[in-house]
A and B are shown apart, each in its own frame.
Chain A
Amino acid sequence: MLSNLKIRSRLIAGFSVLLVFLVLIGTLSLKNLAAEGRLLSEFYEHPFTVTNAIQQVDTNIARMHRGMKDVVLYAADREDLEATIAEIAKYEQEVYRGLALARERFPGDQAKIDRIKESMDQWKEVRAKTIALTRQGKVKEAVAFHKNYARRTVAQIDAQVEEVLKASHTTASNFAAESARNQRLTFAITAVLVALACIIAAMIAFAITASITRPLNDAVQAADRLAQGDVSVELDSASPDELGQLLRAMRKMVLSLRRMGENANRIAIGDLDLEVVPLSERDVFGNAMSNMVASLKRLAASADRIAAGDLTIEVIPASDKDRLGNSFSVMTRNLRDLSLEISEVVSVLAGSAAEIMTTVSELASSSAQTATSISETNATVQEIRQTTDLTSQKSRQVYEGAHRSAQIAKTGRDSVNSTLDGMQGIDERMGFIAERIVNLSEQSQAIGEIIATVADLAEQSNLLAVNAAIEAAKAGEHGKGFAVVAQEVKNLATQSKQATSQVRSIIGQIQKATTAAVLATEQGSKAVEAGMKQSSEAGESIRQLAASIEDSSNATLQIVTSTQEQAIGMDQIAIAIQSINQASDQNVEGSRQIEAAAKNLYELNQKLQKLVSGYRLA
């Protein structure tokens, strides 16, 4: 019955039942709350107010009684008396007002209140009489009066008030009992209703949940298997609700996936003849599959043409990420480049083969020429060998000649050395002569000095002669003879002077002569020096000559040994040429073989060219 309804209807029905229970419980609770409120207000209106008012009345009566005592006590002071009387009047009014209120609200017998009022009226008369007595100054009388009447009246009033209070309390306790009864009833009803609602809600929830979760579990299991790629899952439901619809849609999906899998399998084994029709415009799988098939067909066609040798095709990749397309494009490009390079290589190879053939023929002819040259060289080497022998002989002769020359040079050097010694002796003698002449010159200088002294002496003698003549003249006649002698002395002095001047001139000549002699010896000495220098130069030249002759002698000795080595070397060269001759013969044979190899290469190249021309490139 429940599974024939839709899930929505089931949920609405369940929640409706629960709502009915909720309204029921709410209404009952509201009703009880209203009854409780009414009871509370009744309680406030009547017993509570009356109790309050009566208690107030009791208190005021007590105050009035105390005031009357004050009136009697303070009767002497007029002012105090009047104030107390006014206070008593005020309290009295309040008592009456409280009694009025109590009477109005009292729920019991109102006669009790009226009795209190009557007692109050009696006390009022007693009070008035007491006050009048007090005003008249009859205080003692007033006290006695008051003592007799007032106390009795007040006790009566107190008893009556106590009775009213009791009645009021009884009423209040009745109200409280009613309220407690009401509450208990409400609690019981509400508890029953809540329990009932809980049981019904649990039942409904279980029923609805069970009807939804069973088919949903079937769907979840199917979806799990699908997620793992298992398309063999079988699903069916006859249920008209939403879950039945869901299961039927899943069945359709599984069928579609199965078809798709079959198609993919066929593509995987390379069968491109199948036709994939997309189920709708939004069928992503179908579209992709059909595109894939088309793309693979295009690539297959391109591969067919490449296989046929047509490299002119241009493969355009479907996108940047199309690895197969890109690879195909790169492959065709590379194949094209490779074919081009191979054809180029083939042409180069053809040229090279031709060049090798010409080179080989040239090599053969040059080998023949080499053979002729080698025989000529051999003859030449023989001639050189003979010449070397001759050279060796001649150089030995030269060596001996150089040895003799060296000995002669040594003799020449000895002669020059003795010449130098002789020159040295001459130089020394010359020096000696020059020294002696200079000595002579110095001695003549000394003579000159002596002569000067002599001239001085002559001059002094002259003066002396004059003085002598003067003295002679002073002596007069006796001095005549002496004057003559003085004159004679003077003459001698004059002659001495003349002689000294002559000697001086002779000394001058001697000095000139000695100077000339010294100069001459100096020149001689210089000449000797030059001679020595030249002799030593000659000696040096002879020494160098001897050295160079020595060098030549050594050189010729080396030449002699060298020519001997040369002769040996020549013999070795002759042997080497023999080897070269043999090698040349082998060369000729080798070049013939190379020629044959080059011919083979040429034929191979022809074949390669034919192969390459099978590819169309443009």
Chain B
Amino acid sequence: MSQRSSAIDWASLLTRQQAAFDAVLQNRHDHEREQALLKERARLMSQKTAEDAGSVACVDCLEFTLSGEHYAIELSFIAATIPLADFTPLFCTPPFVLGITSVRGKIISIVDLRRFFELPAAGLSDLNRVIVVSDGTMEFGVLADRVEGMRSLPLSELHPTPDTFTGVRGEFLAGVTAERLALLDMARILADPRLIVHEEVG
């Protein structure tokens, strides 16, 4: 009780607390700087696209990952991307049909391409996405682990499908880039009769 000198240094503690409160109040009023930063970024991006436009023929596509591999789908086939919120599994369907879900009042089926491509199937989570593809007649959702973002692929960079991609995997690919980004031949997939499920179970 007599050792008052080793007690808590209340004065310095109070000083530190005051400093922390001040810092919080300061950050709250820093809108102007943020806005400036955003404008600057927008300007830089618009310039870049203007440069690209005239030079090379490109194909706009959406990049996504599936079991650690990168795939891309042409934007012209994509209707929307939605989170895999809740879906209804369908019984008596082939294994590649994950189930059905509702997109803005429309019922579509979800296709798990990993079954087609014989890739290892990891578990599903809230982070999984569904890319809704359509060619006007056929419409369904493609399961994706993660959506990377928009990408413009120069056609010159596309290489034909190597021999290592065999079977269905080879059939459904339009080309592969040097970064092992595989562009899916969506027109062909949509037209493939194997995706149409017509099965009767007695």
**A interface, CB within 8 angstroms of B:** 459-460, 463, 466-467, 469-470, 473-474, 480-481, 483-485, 487-488, 490-492
Closest chain A residue to B129, Cβ basis: A463
- Please give, as numbers and ranges, the residues of chain B lying within 8 Å of A490 by CB-CB distance: 149
- Please give, as numbers and ranges, the residues of chain A lying within 8 Å of B82 by CB-CB distance: 463
Please report the C-alpha to C-alpha distance between residue A487 and residue B83 in the assembled complex, in whole angstroms: 19
Given contacts A463-B129, A490-B149, A492-B38, contact A470 B81 (CB under 8 A): yes
Please report the C-alpha to C-alpha distance between residue A463 and residue B130 in the assembled complex, in whole angstroms: 11
Closest chain-A Cβ to B125's Cβ sits at a distance in Å of: 12
Please report the C-alpha to C-alpha distance between residue A83 and residue B43 in the assembled complex, in whole angstroms: 220
Chain A binding surface, main DSSP class: helix
Can you give 6 A-B contacts (C-beta < 8 A)? Answer: A459-B127, A467-B80, A480-B49, A485-B42, A487-B150, A488-B38
In contact, B45 and A470 (Cβ under 8 angstroms): no
* Contacts of B42-73 to chain A: CB distance below 8 A: 42, 45-46, 49, 60, 62
In contact, B46 and A470 (Cβ under 8 angstroms): no
Set B41, B49, B78, B83: member contacting A470, Cβ < 8 A:
B78
Closest chain-A Cβ to B55's Cβ sits at a distance in Å of: 15
In contact, A469 and B150 (Cβ under 8 angstroms): yes
Please report the C-alpha to C-alpha distance between residue A474 and residue B150 in the assembled complex, in whole angstroms: 12
Closest chain-A Cβ to B188's Cβ sits at a distance in Å of: 21
Closest chain-A Cβ to B23's Cβ sits at a distance in Å of: 12
B76 at the A/B interface (Cβ < 8 Å)?
Answer: yes
Please report the C-alpha to C-alpha distance between residue A480 and residue B51 in the assembled complex, in whole angstroms: 13
B147 at the A/B interface (Cβ < 8 Å)?
Answer: yes
In contact, A484 and B49 (Cβ under 8 angstroms): yes
B75 at the A/B interface (Cβ < 8 Å)?
Answer: yes
7 smallest A-B Cβ distances: which pairs? A473-B75, A469-B150, A473-B60, A484-B45, A484-B46, A466-B81, A470-B78
Closest chain B residue to A480, Cβ basis: B49
Closest chain-B Cβ to A482's Cβ sits at a distance in Å of: 11
> Residue among B42, B76, B127 with the most chain A CB within 10 A?
B42
In contact, A488 and B42 (Cβ under 8 angstroms): yes
Please report the C-alpha to C-alpha distance between residue A473 and residue B82 in the assembled complex, in whole angstroms: 17
In contact, A491 and B81 (Cβ under 8 angstroms): no
- Please give, as numbers and ranges, the residues of chain B lying within 8 Å of A473 by CB-CB distance: 60, 75, 150
Set A466, A488, A491, A492: member contacting B62, Cβ < 8 A:
A466
In contact, B147 and A488 (Cβ under 8 angstroms): no
Closest chain-B Cβ to A362's Cβ sits at a distance in Å of: 83
- Please give, as numbers and ranges, the residues of chain B lying within 8 Å of A485 by CB-CB distance: 42
- Please give, as numbers and ranges, the residues of chain A lying within 8 Å of B147 by CB-CB distance: 463, 466
Closest chain-B Cβ to A105's Cβ sits at a distance in Å of: 176
- Please give, as numbers and ranges, the residues of chain A lying within 8 Å of B45 by CB-CB distance: 484, 487-488
Please report the C-alpha to C-alpha distance between residue A460 and residue B83 in the assembled complex, in whole angstroms: 8
Set A459, A460, A474, A487: member contacting B76, Cβ < 8 A:
A474
In contact, B41 and A491 (Cβ under 8 angstroms): yes
> Residue among B60, B129, B150 with the most chain A CB within 10 A?
B150
- Please give, as numbers and ranges, the residues of chain A lying within 8 Å of B62 by CB-CB distance: 466, 470
Please report the C-alpha to C-alpha distance between residue A484 and residue B45 in the assembled complex, in whole angstroms: 7
Closest chain-A Cβ to B89's Cβ sits at a distance in Å of: 23
Closest chain-A Cβ to B12's Cβ sits at a distance in Å of: 16
In contact, B75 and A466 (Cβ under 8 angstroms): no
